[in-house]
Amino acid sequence: MTARGGTSPVLIAGGGIGGLSTAIALSRRGFRVTLLERSAFAEESGAGIQLGPNATRALRQLGTLDAIEAQAFRPEAIWLFDAISGKRLATMPLGDRVEERYGAPYLTLHRADLHAGLLQLCQSHASIELKSDFEVTGVEERDAGITACAADGRSAEGSMLIGADGLWSSLRARAAPGAMPRFAGQTAWRALLPRAQAPSPYDAPVVGLWLGPGAHLVHYPVRGGKDLNLVAVVEGGEPAHGWNQQGDRAALLANFARWAEPPQSLLNMAESWRVWSLHRLRPLPRWSAGRITLLGDAAHPVLPFLAQGAALAIEDAVALAASLDACGGDRALAFPRYEALRRKRAEQVQRAAEQYGRLYHLGGPARLLRNLLLERRRGVTLLNGFDWLYAVESRTG
C-alpha cells in the first residue's frame, strides 16, 4: 500500500501517551510516521491514571483498548466523602452502568501499563519508525517539507511535525510565541500501595474521593487491582518543573492534620511520595503554524480535577488523523479542520476542571452547602452531569 502524504513521513515530537496514540491513529489511516522521543521510550512516572469512557472509546477506535484492558481495573463506583467528618456523601455508579450508558468502560490503571500497551502496538506497525534519545532542539521548514534537528546532530525529515511534547513543549513557541504555563498555586502528591494491605474502605473496588478545605485525596486500584494509587492535591507549594520529584512526607501530612482518622490513616501508610506543581496555560490564539501543529498538553494542558489530560490527548490523536485523512494528507487544510474540531471541547474541559477543583476544596459554610447538595443527589443523577464529557464522539473526527 502506498503511504498517504507521499513518501515523506509525518514527524511526531514526543513519545508519551499523546504521541504514541497519534502515531497509531495515523498509521491506521495509511500514513508513515517517524516518532521522535527524547528518552528511551521509558514511562517512569509511577502514577495511576483514570480513563473515562470518552478515552476508552477513543482507544477502541485506535484498536488499542484490548491491549491495555488486561492490566486495567474496572471500578464499580466513585465514593465521595467529606474529609473532615469522614462521612460518605454520595455514590456515583461506574462499572456496567457506565458501559451501558456510554458504550465504553471506565478504567483505572498504572500509567506505565497504558504507555507500554501503546508502545507495543506502535512497534508492531511497519509504518511507524521509533527514534529514541532524540530531543528536538531545532526545526527547519522548507517549501517541500520540514526537518527536526536533535542536539547530537541527528535529523529527521518529514512532511509536517506534530508537537506532542507535553506541558513544557519546545514547539509551542512556533505557534504561540511567549505562551508559557503559569503556576496554578497547587501541588499534587502521589504514592502507590499494595492493595492487600489497605483496610476498609480502601480495599473496595471503587474510586474514593475525599473533599476537604484547601485539599483533596483520590485513591483507586491499578495493576488489575493489585495496587492502590493515591493522589493528594493541596493549595500552595512552590512552582517547579517535572513531576517525579521526591516529596517530603512530613510536609504533606501537615496539610491533613484536621482530617478524619480514616483518610489520615491511609496517607500515613505511604512511606514514599512523589510531588509535582500544577500549572495552567491560557488558551492559545492558535495551535498550528506552517507545517507544525500541537496536540495534548502542548496545546491545552488541563488541571487534573476531572482526570482528562490523557483523554484529551487521545481524542486529539483520533481527530487529527481523521482530519488529515479527510483532507488527503494536505496539512494546510487538515490543521484548521482539526483545531476547529477540538478547540471548543478542550477549552470546555479546561474550564470545568478548574471549577471542580474549586468545588473539591471548599471550606466553611460553602463546604457544608456542597455536602448537603451531594447527599440529596442520587448516584444516577450525578452521572447524568457527565454526559457532556463522556458521551461525545462526533467531536473527535
Active-site positions? 220
Phi-psi group of 225: left, alpha or beta (phi > 0 → left; psi -120 to 50 → alpha; rest → beta): left
Could you write out the DSSP letters of every residue in 235-247?
A: E-----S-S-EEP
What is the distance between the alpha carbons of residues 291 and 295, in angstroms, rounded to a whole number? 14
Region label for 180, one of left (φ > 0), alpha (ψ between -120 and 50) or beta (otherwise): beta
Cα 151 from Cα 160, distance rounded (Å): 20
Q: State the CB neighbour count (10 A cutoff) for residue 223.
A: 20
Residue pair 194/168 in contact (Cβ under 8 Å)? The answer is no
CA distance 28 to 160: 18
**Cell reading at 276:** 509535582
Distance CA 161, CA 291 (A): 6
End-to-end CA distance of the chain: 23
